[in-house]
Chains A and B, each alone.
Chain A
Amino acid sequence: MRPPSPSIPEREFALSALQQSMRIDGRTLLEIRPINLTFGPALGCVECELGKTRVLAFIDSKMIKPPEERPLEGIISIHSEISPMASSAYETGRPSDEEVAITRMLEKVLRRSDAVDRESLCIVAGQRVWHLRLTLHFLADAGNMLDCACLAAVAALRHFRRPEVEVVGEDVITYDPSERPPIPLAMHHTPYVLTFALFPFASTPAPQQTKLSSTHVPTPQLANSSITAVLDPSPLEASLLPSSSPSLLSLALTPQRELCVVNKAGGVPVSPEEFLWLVKVAEERVREVEACLEGGLLKAKAEAEGIGSL
């Protein structure tokens, strides 16, 4: 069922507010909604909240025989199906355009960019490798599920611990977590995804500075721009653009300034300078997201150790 398009007053108001650099939920144009990560009781289970959008990621592992063409690498498979629980816009069975986009983006960010070192998942070459299954459940759609899903997936990968195994001759001994502590995954890098919505008009700066949170990072400004870019769009903002597929730019990058995935599929044309400026903005914001994730992981670890020492 297609969600109803916004009414004419909502559209016009949202567009005119954006032209004055104001957003309806009070954020600045380049501000992300607050992120809240809840690490579940199981290792590798994370619920990520980006504003009111919620995604649950879960990782489990098992040992399998690797395929013939890649005998030295482990396998990571990603299962993400958006159920109508997230929003009545999604149907089970038939993947909608947005679902295809999210699944493809997750594949690119996590698998093609080699975030996890697959060779370290090999136990016995050609015989036994780890198969990691990442499952994503989309609990609530309040806009920008892609960023939330990628953050949940990355957090789950960082939080997950696989059982330690030892190869003795032909046998593989798996140690229970109570005998030997499980091992974290070897990750080459941690990618974060940021999505912008682009509008084909210039915007005047906000009339007065609203009170900003303490984590606000000043952004580099771009003069003479003919577009307005909005970070972490809300559902209304994403549906404002005239075409049915909104003008979104998704960037996956690491805090070390490496771009993993860039996806701007059509939409509002931007000049090369504006595009490179957006990349710079993303580089600044990624540090905020990284701080959230690292903080969350430390807290989860402290809590787990606190419980363990009881």
Chain B
Amino acid sequence: MTSTTTLPGEIVPAQHPNLKLGPGLLQSISGTSDSATIVSTRAGELQHSANRSKWWIESNARRYVPAAQESVIGQISGRAGEGYRVDIGGAHNASLDGLAFEGATKRNRPNLKVNSLVYARVSLAHKDMEPELECFDAQTRKAEGFGELKGGFVVKCSLGMSRRLLDPNHFLLPLLGSRFPLECAVGMNGRIWVDTKSAQNTIIVARCIEAADPDGGGLDEADVNKLLNGIQS
């Protein structure tokens, strides 16, 4: 996968019969010619899939814009009738129905306190409407890790960092996991929940995430190793 740096407004040479445009690319139909040109709207690296049918711009940001099917970590900001209002870091608070949990019935609903954390999936994210969340997997209707997050700690990072942490080839989480057991939930809204057995290990994880964040330290594997040896000696 080759990648080149693209600035907003540049024309992107993307051609394919079944062309799919990802984030950061816009199809603009110019008045004179009858072919549509693909224009970049963000500054970042232009990337495409192997068969050149999917194109997108890889850029970093800190503010989350909700998109459907993304897993996010939300903080309950209040109750709204039968459900909850959840702050996911976007422009609007999302709504989470009280029944959108595994095994919830009208009589048996989870009782979440204000300011508690949930790991949820964005089920509806339309730019004109408030986003909606669900705490179970779409097909299986089982929790699959969604639901209330108890204990642990939340680290805030940039959106690009959370995407990298979800990449199975990224170095950070396996590196930390090799040193001590840890449990973590990665939210695509730039929030990462971690839980380890000791407070010190949790602090180490938080500092490493901040250090490896391209927006923050931008350290690579060797530097993170050095940092870890420094802290843990």
Contacts and interface: CB of A to CB of B under 8 A. Distances in A.
B37 interface: no
A25 B209 CA distance: 12
B198 to A, nearest CB: 8
B203 A22 contact: yes
Chief secondary structure at chain B's binding surface: mixed
B53 interface: no
A88 to B, nearest CB: 11
A20 interface: yes
A20 B151 CA distance: 16
A211 B206 CA distance: 17
A201 interface: no
A5 B114 CA distance: 10
B154 A10 contact: yes
B153 A211 contact: no
Given A13-B152, A13-B153, A8 B200 contact: no
A210 interface: yes
A7 interface: yes
Contacts of B151: 9, 12-13
B116 interface: yes
A207 B117 CA distance: 29
Interface residues of A, number: 23
A42 interface: no
Interface in A1-35: 4-14, 16-17, 20, 22-26
16 contacts: A4-B87, A7-B75, A7-B116, A7-B154, A8-B116, A9-B152, A9-B154, A11-B115, A12-B151, A13-B151, A13-B153, A13-B202, A22-B199, A22-B203, A26-B231, A211-B231
Interface of B: 75, 77, 87, 113, 115-117, 149-154, 193, 199-200, 202-203, 206-207, 230-231, 233
Given A7-B154, A9-B150, A13-B202, 6 more contacts: A4-B77, A8-B116, A9-B154, A24-B203, A24-B206, A210-B231
